[in-house]
Amino acid sequence: MIPKPRTDRPAPPYAGRRIKAAIVGAGGIARSHVSALAQLAEEGETEIVAAVDIDADAAERFCAEGGVPHAYTDLHRMLEEQRPDLVSICTPPTLHREQTVAALRAGAWVWCEKPPVPTLADFDAVEAEEGTDGGPYAAIVFQHRFGSGSRHVRRLLAEQALGRPLVAHCQTTWYRNAAYYAVPWRGRWHTEGGGPAMGHGIHQMDLLLDLLGPWSEVRAMAGRLVHDVETEDVSTALVRFENGALATIVNSVLSPDEVSRIRIDCERATVELKHLYGHSNDNWRITPAPDVPEEEAAAWRDFGEDVPSSHLGQLRELVASMRAGERPRSSGADGRTSLELITALYKSAFTDTTVRAGEIGPGDPYYTALHGGAPGWAPVVAQAFSATPSEEVSA
């Protein structure tokens, strides 16, 4: 049972003290969170007070390895006893809504791993629980936005130094074998939310949106070509942006030569990012048009100090937002945009139609389930959980 909101929480900006943080989930991705939190703890910004996992042994091991003082198997008990200011959620997607709401109602800000929640309905339910004046807010882990490379290119595009963006490519072509999908919650709509568009390509799509701005329409295809899963294992899409740019998007788990790639062709230059799971300045390349003066091109290629994309980079900004009492990036409408594009991608692929931004809302079957009840894609029990909120259990 989710507790009612507490009113005894200190207000931001947490002046004069460390921000108390807790981690929910003790799997592999949680180690990235504890590492980032530990780095900020060394700088006097944070203090890790607890970790939660339904597996008591896993929670104890995680705490012992990470120097976390308190291990719990019950999220609500931890929230009541430790009263964290920030909760990192590192559990499977089907748990994110209930756990995020519980933390927000306890007065804690939330930093939730992607995918944020399985559906737009879940996202809107979470956003409804956020504070209205200074938090708490729930941010999504989109660490590829954060780093010197993406910051530099975002500025060049915003200032139109490279001219208008015209053509873009967004590629997440990875490889996952049958053993990967042997984990019971993977490849299932109810527990993973979607296939590679949702669970893998979301990072590059989010970064593309962060660089190019709002999209206006999408036309997509999806296939289940290799793996025995409910979801797709490959998808392609054509996207039109509000600024007129046209983009192609490919998300695959069938590609032995793995790469994450964004390329944007502008009037005066092409900018390209090639990496796999994280990028630094060296992963970016800017190719000027022939008539661009060399000194101007040299200035574009000066990315400054190399700050790689990372959980730490995003966490620094999130903590700064907490202390300022301001909504952080990748929360609210800013965090919703990539989930809306992914939802529209699935709807377009499964209905063979063009989907426009803003058209999927309450009453649309894709608002409550990414498969939308589509024949051949929806699981047998689609009716049961497309009409009701996620059947979640707390950690």
The two three-digit tokens of residue 122, written as one number: 């879940």
The two three-digit tokens of residue 231, written as one number: 């979801």
What pLDDT does residue 380 have? 77
Where helices occur in the chain by DSSP H, the ranges are 28-42, 56-66, 75-82, 96-105, 120-127, 148-158, 189-192, 196-199, 202-212, 294-300, 311-324, 332-351, 365-368, 382-386
Beta bridge partners of 140: 112
What pLDDT does residue 87 have? 98
- Residue 186 to residue 179: CA distance in whole angstroms: 11
pLDDT (tens digit per residue) in 44-89: 999 999 999 999 999 999 999 999 999 999 999 999 999 999 999 9
Residue of 143, 141, 231, 144 lying closest to 180 (CA atoms):
231
The two three-digit tokens of residue 187, written as one number: 């490849």
Mark the ranges of the chain whose per-residue pLDDT is less than 50.
Answer: 382-395
What pLDDT does residue 1 have? 53
Q: What is the pTM of this model?
A: 0.92
What pLDDT does residue 15 have? 87
- Residue 357 to residue 387: CA distance in whole angstroms: 23
